[in-house]
């Protein structure tokens, strides 16, 4: 006997049945239930519901998920009752096997919905992801494909389908309709997996032997240096004892966004924050199952990115609260202040040039300048030297043409790199002078 696992499998059975009034009525009820289970979508739900002081985004997520489960349970119960009442007349034109198969599918989905409600524990199962988000991200909206109201009891994940759906919605200007509720298209896409076009034309990189944190970070930096505003990346990884998983990365506004169908969507101001978050997330995922990250593959999704599509616009509940740091700036030497000011002035140059990657770098430099102004001189030097030591850091990219690099005797730098070196030198001189004063 064939095991069905998704709501859309009912439509596959219906295609084998003769066209009758009973079948037409059944299709209408199924379509109406699908629409009802996606209305409103979660972003609409967050936007339209006044947030009480006692409710956080996880409480609202639970309210929404239970509302959708209840719709499915009620809707399927009604359809099963109709099937039972109409079965005798339907049998005149329709095979019992087809009717029984439809009942089995719907009963299985009904069981899955009841089970998901019974064992629902979104926050505790995803605490590590949320803690990382609070540290490195600016915004977060929780999603979890396990709460798909259309899955069956043998559900093992539709991550590939969800990742493609995410990219497609962005390209269509419909990102805010992103949903855990899968449809027939998503379900089919999930079973296609990689295509020849992915491997031949859209591959960004394959990375092996990445179990150590240092190698994971280097790999993520390598991926991010290939990002631009036009592409949405399919970021896939294999963890032993867990399996293969598909996620997504893209540029949005002057920052980055990461979609993980098991956890949700997070937004970062800088690529450095994204590296720290992703490295922590991958290591956490491996640690939970006592496994290790075996390899990572990255492709461009076959959909154009629209960086103006911002899920978090006008969604204050998704903003992650940061600890307020007292606005007391340490005293820096005049030379160090001048070096930081020079870096700050370069931000406007990048913005006036208007190039996509330049605008992204300008945004990152803005946050870095604010950070440097808040650090004591020794900490400032350590921070800047750490960036300079990482040649894959996003602020160290765009070194100019290969011809100029050759002509300069392999000594050319990006403007940002040169400005950071001046800050490091000024900080070093300031620290040395302070040591002399202390020892007098």
Q: Which of 121, 150, 176 is the last residue of a domain?
A: 121
278 with 190, same domain?
Answer: yes
Our count of domains for the chain comes to 3
140 with 204, same domain?
Answer: yes
**pLDDT tens-digit profile, the chain (440 residues):** 445 478 889 999 888 888 888 889 999 999 999 999 889 999 999 998 766 646 789 999 999 999 999 999 999 999 998 888 776 666 666 666 888 888 999 999 999 999 999 999 877 778 899 999 999 999 999 999 999 999 999 888 899 999 999 999 999 999 999 999 998 888 888 877 666 566 666 778 888 877 788 889 989 999 988 888 999 999 999 999 999 999 999 999 889 999 999 999 999 999 999 999 999 999 999 999 999 999 899 999 999 999 999 999 989 999 997 666 556 778 899 999 999 999 999 999 988 887 777 778 888 899 899 999 999 999 999 999 999 998 888 888 654 444 434 444 545 567 899 999 999 999 999 887 775 665 55
Q: Would you say residue 44 lies in a domain?
A: yes
Q: Which of 121, 137, 163 is the last residue of a domain?
A: 121
DSSP state of 115: H
Q: Position of tokens 């300069």?
A: 408
Domain range for 182 is 127-318
Q: Would you say residue 19 lies in a domain?
A: yes
Q: Would you say residue 1 lies in a domain?
A: no
Q: Would you say residue 56 lies in a domain?
A: yes
| Strands (DSSP E) found in 162-209 | 203-208
Using alpha carbons only, what angle is made at residue 152 by residues 293 and 142, rounded to the nearest 5 degrees? 55
- Token duo for residue 98: 């087809």
Q: Would you say residue 399 lies in a domain?
A: yes
139 with 232, same domain?
Answer: yes
Q: Would you say residue 143 lies in a domain?
A: yes
Distances from the Cα of 431 to the Cαs of 26, 240, 255, 344, in angstroms? 78, 47, 34, 22
226 with 341, same domain?
Answer: no
CATH number at residue 195: 3.90.70.20
Give the model's pLDDT for residue 380: 94
145 close to 158: Cβ distance less than 8 angstroms: yes
83 with 131, same domain?
Answer: no
423 close to 377: Cβ distance less than 8 angstroms: no
- SS3 of 130, please? helix
Give the model's pLDDT for residue 339: 95
170 with 264, same domain?
Answer: yes
Q: Which of 92, 121, 150 is the last residue of a domain?
A: 121
268 with 143, same domain?
Answer: yes
134 with 76, same domain?
Answer: no
102 with 236, same domain?
Answer: no
341 with 424, same domain?
Answer: yes
DSSP state of 409: T
Give the model's pLDDT for residue 258: 98
268 with 368, same domain?
Answer: no
Q: Position of tokens 């409103």?
A: 40
Q: Would you say residue 328 lies in a domain?
A: no
Q: Would you say residue 83 lies in a domain?
A: yes
Cα(72)–Cα(77) distance, rounded to whole angstroms?
Answer: 8
Which pTM does this prediction carry?
0.84
168 with 309, same domain?
Answer: yes
155 close to 5: Cβ distance less than 8 angstroms: yes
**How many helices and strands (H and E) does the chain possess?**
17, 7
């Amino acid at each position: 006997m064939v095991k069905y696992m998704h709501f859309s499998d009912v439509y596959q059975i219906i295609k084998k049945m003769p066209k009758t009034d009973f079948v037409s009525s059944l299709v209408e009820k199924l379509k109406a239930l699908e629409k009802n289970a996606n209305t409103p979508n979660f972003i609409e739900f967050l936007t339209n519901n006044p947030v009480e002081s006692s409710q956080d985004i996880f409480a609202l997520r639970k309210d929404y998920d239970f509302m959708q489960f209840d719709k499915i349970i009620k809707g399927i119960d009604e359809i099963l009752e109709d099937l039972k009442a109409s079965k005798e007349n339907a049998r005149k034109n329709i095979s019992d096997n087809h009717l029984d198969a439809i009942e089995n599918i719907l009963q299985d989905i009904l069981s899955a919905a009841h089970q998901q409600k019974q064992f629902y524990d979104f926050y505790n199962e995803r605490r590590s992801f949320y803690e990382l988000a609070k540290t490195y991200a600016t915004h977060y909206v929780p999603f979890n494909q396990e709460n798909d109201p259309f899955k069956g009891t043998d559900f093992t994940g539709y991550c590939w389908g969800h990742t493609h759906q995410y990219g497609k919605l962005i390209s269509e200007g419909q990102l805010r309709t992103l949903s855990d509720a899968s449809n027939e298209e998503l379900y089919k896409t999930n079973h296609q997996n990689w295509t020849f076009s992915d491997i031949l034309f859209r591959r960004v990189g394959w990375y092996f032997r990445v179990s150590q944190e240092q190698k994971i970070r280097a790999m993520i930096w390598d991926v991010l240096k290939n990002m631009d505003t036009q592409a949405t990346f399919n970021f896939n990884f294999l963890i032993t004892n867990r399996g293969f998983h598909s996620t997504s990365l893209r540029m949005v506004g002057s920052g980055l966004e990461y979609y993980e169908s098991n956890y949700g969507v997070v937004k970062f101001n800088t690529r450095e924050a994204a590296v720290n978050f992703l490295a922590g997330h991958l290591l956490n995922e491996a640690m939970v199952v006592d496994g290790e990250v075996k390899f990572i593959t990255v492709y461009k999704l076959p959909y154009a990115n629209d960086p103006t599509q911002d899920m978090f616009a006008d969604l204050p509940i998704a903003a992650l609260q940061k600890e307020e740091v007292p606005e007391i700036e340490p005293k820096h030497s005049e030379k160090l202040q001048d070096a930081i000011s020079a870096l700050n002035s370069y931000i406007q140059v990048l913005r006036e040039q208007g190039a996509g990657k330049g605008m992204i770098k300008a945004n990152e430099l803005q946050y870095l300048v604010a950070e440097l102004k808040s650090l004591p001189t020794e900490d400032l030097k350590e921070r800047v030297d750490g960036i300079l030591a990482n040649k894959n850091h996003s602020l160290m990219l765009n070194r100019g043409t290969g011809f100029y690099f050759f002509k300069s005797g392999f000594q050319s730098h990006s403007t940002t790199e040169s400005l950071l070196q001046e800050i490091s030198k000024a900080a070093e001189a300031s620290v040395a002078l302070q040591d002399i004063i202390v020892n007098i």
